[in-house]
Amino acid sequence: MTANPHRPIIGVFDSGVGGLTVLRAIAQLVPNADYVFFGDTARLPYGTKSQEFVARYSSLAARFLAAHGIDLLVIGCNTASALALYDIKSAVSIPVIGVIEPGADAAAAISKSREALVYATEATCTSHAYQRALARRGFATFEKACPLLVPLVEEGWTEAPVTEQVARIYTIEALRTASTNVDVLVLGCTHYPLLRPMLRRVVPQRIAIVDSAEATACALLQYLPGHDLAAGIPTYRFFVTDSVEKFQKQAPVFLGFATESVERADLDSGH
């Protein structure tokens, strides 16, 4: 479908498919927009790569999306947000939003104790990006890497007993080292929102759960003044750097609907 000039065009970038939860949250809040999603599936996961690597390919992806006329870029990837946000902002001349600051803002809005727990991938925990963001808001933060949750989500096992058992073990370990005053859990990986209903059963009720994808969607609204955002039907274009078929198979788990048209892109050549 051709983009409507009166509607914003919003780009969403991720190293793979997890950022589709961010796209879904944004489109639910802002249906009257056109969306361009880019997944660097040839190079995932970014979590095992160097900062220089992540900065290089995140910046190339940002330029690719900017060339498609987007008005706003959302980095739907915690690793890229943690390691390359400033490089990405330098690469394009449009507003850029990462997922970490909105997640920290959402935690700050509801926490009374100013003590938080963050579930994330190993790379995001190692970067301490959430810890720094929350510290700027007066928080003490306890980070817990939950590496097994991503492959379980990608398998579609969001309600499987094995996934709940894994999440329960991570939670027991996390609470063993965290302060008893923790009153908020930040989901610091874009795969984890799909586990929110299950995590609500596992995590003590006194701890509120913050979905950084949802928080990012809310943060985006301030960048779209003057637009009628509530009424309309979103349009989508999807680009990936590898495995179109695999992306089409996994996307419905994250988006809630099938992706009919997915195009292959090559960052190194710029096409």
The string of pLDDT tens digits covering residues 27-86 is 999 999 999 999 999 988 887 788 899 999 999 999 999 999 999 999 999 989 999 999
- The topology under which CATH files domain 9-98+217-264 is Rossmann fold (3.40.50)
pLDDT tens per residue, range 180-223: 999 999 999 999 999 999 999 999 999 999 998 999 999 998 88
User: Taking residues 133-142, what's their average pLDDT?
Assistant: 98
Q: What is the residue type of 201?
A: R
How far is the C-alpha of 164 from the C-alpha of 157, rounded, in Å? 9
Q: Using the 8-state DSSP alphabet, how is residue 243 labeled?
A: -
Our CA dihedral for 192, 253, 202, 115, rounded to 10 degrees, sits at 20
User: Taking residues 225-252, what's their average pLDDT?
Assistant: 87
Q: Is-above-0.85 flag for pTM?
A: yes
**Given this model, what pLDDT does residue 4 score?**
46
pLDDT bucket at 270, cuts 50 / 70 / 90: low
Q: What percentage of residues in the chain have a pLDDT greater than 90?
A: 79
Q: Helix (H, G, I), strand (E, B), or coil: what is residue 96?
A: strand
**Given this model, what pLDDT does residue 271 score?**
59
Cis-peptide into 252, omega within 30 deg: no
Q: Does the pLDDT of residue 256 top 70, yes or no?
A: yes
CATH node for 100-212:
3.40.50.1860
Q: Does the pLDDT of residue 108 top 60, yes or no?
A: yes
Catalytic annotation, residues = 77, 189
90 vs 221, which has greater pLDDT? 90
Domain span(s) for CATH 3.40.50.1860 in the chain = 9-98+217-264, 100-212
pLDDT tens per residue, range 138-190: 999 999 999 999 989 988 899 999 999 999 999 999 999 999 999 999 999 99
193 vs 3, which has greater pLDDT? 193
